[in-house]
């Protein structure tokens, strides 16, 4: 889901279908180079008195719990014809964090940031170029303390900013070369944005713990006078041009606002789906059967009704799905939601839907971090999709998908999980997380059996830990197998060996 790259799949008609797309490919380098072209340092004139006051207040703030969830409140005004965002948003109930960034989309121009609590004043901010784990769409801001060395974080900050984005009205002449998950996209009749990557609203990031606070509780008045329908993740869509959306459950603020219709079935919403009533029924049954398969095996309830969104990209050739629970978005010129139940396309689309539903567990129920977090989030979701495919969609589709991954990995020199020290060592992220990782997991499953594999997955999803790193993988494996020799065998074959991929392929026995 998150940092995600591409799953490139050649289908009929040469469509490129990607899941969980991120912007890396369109060149993260130029984005960084562009940012480094002007270094912003705004805190030179910060009044000494203000700094002193804040440092004095800090020790008290530290008493509060680390895992407080921020509340985002205020007003957002969007125009889908102008491609604009106008935001007056306040982040409050902030956890006190020593080393942090606040990410905001780099297309947003800041009027001001204002400390509201404990003291009310316009605050000087610094833009950092060191947010190395961001996906490239956002700027990273922080507030320096009075020593100039450390940072301070008010309990509550107001952010006022505006952004203007290209509106793609004509897909014959006037479109983008690329569209992706973290893009703030305005197509001919709507706008679509995720929260995590795009950071269209201010997102707090704890650098020390590698923890992002993209899920917030919220109380937001959203206005779009040229829309008929408004939708923010975690709420039902509404037919209105202005609406006060609230959620006490922390959500990523994925948006879809524009001129479109929606329908619902048993509390599940279908936005711009193009479904007939029969198709909704069929689609609903299918999704329930997938959810039930996961619940039965993983033994953790899938307790969220899901909202499905269908929309078109602002580029010609991109097509993908992404999840931001409880929203699953399908973006493409071909209607991906309808294709899930289309007899001709279903074998191609259904595994993608299974992958996205897998993210309810890997990425939502548990959020993964550290250098292997991205691999686990995507690798396990893809593994779940493969196992579901084998059991529900069809053995032949399963074999075809495994074969395809092995083909993709033909010339890939994979660093085993145990030797990865940073995400850059994935080498080719798309191959690593969507192809290599699920092949390794399939081999482990073959070796330890289905039952213990599901138990391991349960442990990974439920065992408390600060970092979901390699040690965590091994500890949970040891707890599952309770047999050090077996764990060592798995380490030797698949987790630490330079020949891990060959070993795994030979264990799986599919060519
Ligand atoms: Zn994914």
CB 233 within 8 A of CB 200: no
Question: Hey, what long-range contacts does 449-453 have (CB within 8 A, 24 or more apart)?
Answer: 452/480, 452/481
Residue 221 Cα to ligand 1 middle (Å): 31
Query: What separation in angstroms does the CA of 307 have from each of 79, 250, 348, 461, 487?
Result: 23, 16, 21, 23, 40
| Average confidence score pLDDT of the chain | 87
Task: Give the pLDDT band of residue 510 (cuts 50, 70, 90).
Answer: confident
Minimal CA–CA distance to 322: which of 334, 335, 308?
A: 308
CA distance linking residue 196 with residue 102, whole number of Å: 12
Examine the pLDDT at 12 and tell me if it is beyond 50: no
Query: Residue range 9-29: average pLDDT?
Result: 36
Residue 356 Cα to ligand 1 middle (Å): 6
Per-residue model confidence (pLDDT) at position 52? 34
Residue 75 Cα to ligand 1 middle (Å): 31
Q: Would you kindly state where each structural domain of the chain is located, as residue ranges?
A: 30-170+181-228+243-253, 368-508
Per-residue model confidence (pLDDT) at position 72? 98
Residue 492 Cα to ligand 1 middle (Å): 28
Residue 396 Cα to ligand 1 middle (Å): 22
Residue 226 Cα to ligand 1 middle (Å): 33
Residue 48 Cα to ligand 1 middle (Å): 47
Task: Give the pLDDT band of residue 35 (cuts 50, 70, 90).
Answer: very low
pTM to 2 decimals? 0.82
Per-residue model confidence (pLDDT) at position 20? 53
CA distance linking residue 330 with residue 332, whole number of Å: 7
Residue 4 Cα to ligand 1 middle (Å): 7
CA distance linking residue 18 with residue 27, whole number of Å: 17
Query: Residue range 382-405: average pLDDT?
Result: 97
Residue 2 Cα to ligand 1 middle (Å): 7
Give percent of the chain above pLDDT 70.
Answer: 87
Examine the pLDDT at 53 and tell me if it is beyond 60: no
Residue 19 Cα to ligand 1 middle (Å): 6
Examine the pLDDT at 22 and tell me if it is beyond 60: no
63 burial class (0-12, 13-18, 19+ CB within 10 angstroms)? exposed
Chain position carrying tokens 């579901």:
388
CATH 1.10.390.10 fits 368-508, yes or no: yes
Residue 173 Cα to ligand 1 middle (Å): 31
Per-residue model confidence (pLDDT) at position 285? 93
Residue 378 Cα to ligand 1 middle (Å): 5
Residue 5 Cα to ligand 1 middle (Å): 9
Assign 300 to helix, strand or coil. coil
Residue 21 Cα to ligand 1 middle (Å): 8
The protein residues having their C-beta less than 5 angstroms from ligand 1 (an ion) are 1, 20, 378, 381
CA distance linking residue 350 with residue 166, whole number of Å: 33
Residue 281 Cα to ligand 1 middle (Å): 25
Residue 362 Cα to ligand 1 middle (Å): 9
Examine the pLDDT at 385 and tell me if it is beyond 90: yes
Residue 287 Cα to ligand 1 middle (Å): 17
Task: Give the pLDDT band of residue 383 (cuts 50, 70, 90).
Answer: very high
Residue 473 Cα to ligand 1 middle (Å): 19
Task: Give the pLDDT band of residue 94 (cuts 50, 70, 90).
Answer: very high
Q: Which fold has domain 30-170+181-228+243-253?
A: Immunoglobulin-like (2.60.40)
pLDDT 10s digits, 300-354 = 999 778 999 999 999 988 999 999 999 999 999 999 999 999 999 999 999 999 9
pLDDT 10s digits, 216-250 = 999 999 999 999 999 999 999 999 999 999 999 99
pLDDT 10s digits, 121-159 = 999 999 999 998 888 999 999 999 999 899 999 999 999
pLDDT 10s digits, 262-287 = 999 988 999 999 999 999 999 999 99
Per-residue model confidence (pLDDT) at position 1? 40
Residue 440 Cα to ligand 1 middle (Å): 17
Residue 352 Cα to ligand 1 middle (Å): 9
């Amino acid at each position: 889901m998150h940092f995600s790259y591409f799953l490139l799949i050649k289908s009929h008609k040469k469509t490129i279908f990607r899941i969980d797309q991120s912007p890396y490919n369109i060149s993260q380098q130029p984005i960084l180079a562009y940012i480094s072209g002007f270094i912003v340092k705004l805190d030179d004139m910060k009044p000494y008195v203000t700094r002193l006051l804040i440092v004095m207040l800090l020790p008290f703030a530290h008493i509060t719990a680390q895992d407080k969830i921020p509340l985002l409140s205020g007003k957002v005004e969007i125009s889908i014809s102008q491609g604009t965002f106008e935001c007056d948003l306040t982040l409050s109930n902030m956890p006190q964090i020593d080393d942090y960034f606040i990410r905001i989309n780099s297309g947003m121009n800041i009027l001001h940031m204002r400390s509201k609590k404990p003291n009310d004043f316009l605050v000087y901010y610094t833009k950092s170029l060191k947010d190395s784990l961001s996906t490239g769409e956002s700027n990273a801001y922080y507030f320096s303390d009075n020593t100039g060395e450390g940072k301070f974080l008010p309990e509550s900050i107001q952010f006022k900013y505006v952004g203007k984005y290209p509106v793609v009205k004509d897909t014959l002449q006037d479109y983008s070369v690329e569209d992706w998950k973290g893009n703030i996209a305005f197509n001919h009749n709507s706008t679509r944005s995720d929260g995590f990557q795009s950071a269209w609203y201010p997102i707090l990031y704890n650098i020390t713990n590698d923890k992002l606070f993209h899920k917030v509780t919220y109380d937001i008045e959203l206005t779009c006078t040229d829309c008929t329908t408004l939708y923010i993740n975690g709420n039902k869509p509404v037919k209105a041009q202005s609406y006060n959306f609230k959620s006490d459950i922390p959500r990523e603020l994925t948006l879809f606002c524009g001129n479109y219709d929606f329908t619902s079935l048993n509390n599940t919403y279908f936005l711009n789906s193009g479904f007939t009533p029969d198709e909704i029924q069929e689609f609903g049954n299918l999704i329930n059967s997938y959810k039930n398969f996961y619940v039965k095996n993983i033994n953790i309830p899938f307790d969220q009704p899901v909202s499905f969104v269908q929309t078109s990209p602002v580029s010609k050739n991109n097509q993908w799905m992404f999840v931001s629970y409880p929203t699953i978005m399908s973006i493409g010129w071909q209607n991906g939601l309808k294709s899930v139940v289309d007899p001709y396309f279903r074998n191609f689309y259904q595994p993608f839907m299974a992958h996205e539903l897998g993210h309810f567990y890997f990425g939502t129920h548990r959020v993964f971090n550290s250098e292997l977090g991205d691999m686990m989030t995507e690798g396990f979701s893809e593994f779940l999709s493969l196992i579901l495919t084998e059991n529900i969609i069809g053995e032949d589709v399963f074999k075809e998908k495994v074969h395809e991954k092995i083909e993709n990995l033909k010339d890939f020199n994979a660093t085993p999980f145990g030797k990865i020290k940073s995400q850059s060592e994935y080498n080719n992220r798309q191959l690593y997380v969507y192809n290599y990782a699920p092949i390794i997991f399939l081999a482990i499953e073959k070796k330890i059996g289905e039952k213990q594999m599901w138990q391991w997955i349960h442990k990974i999803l439920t065992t408390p830990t600060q970092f979901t790193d390699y040690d965590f993988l091994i500890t949970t494996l040891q707890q599952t197998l309770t047999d050090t020799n077996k764990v060592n065998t798995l380490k030797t074959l698949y987790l630490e060996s330079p020949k891990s991929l060959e070993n795994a392929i030979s264990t799986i026995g599919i060519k």
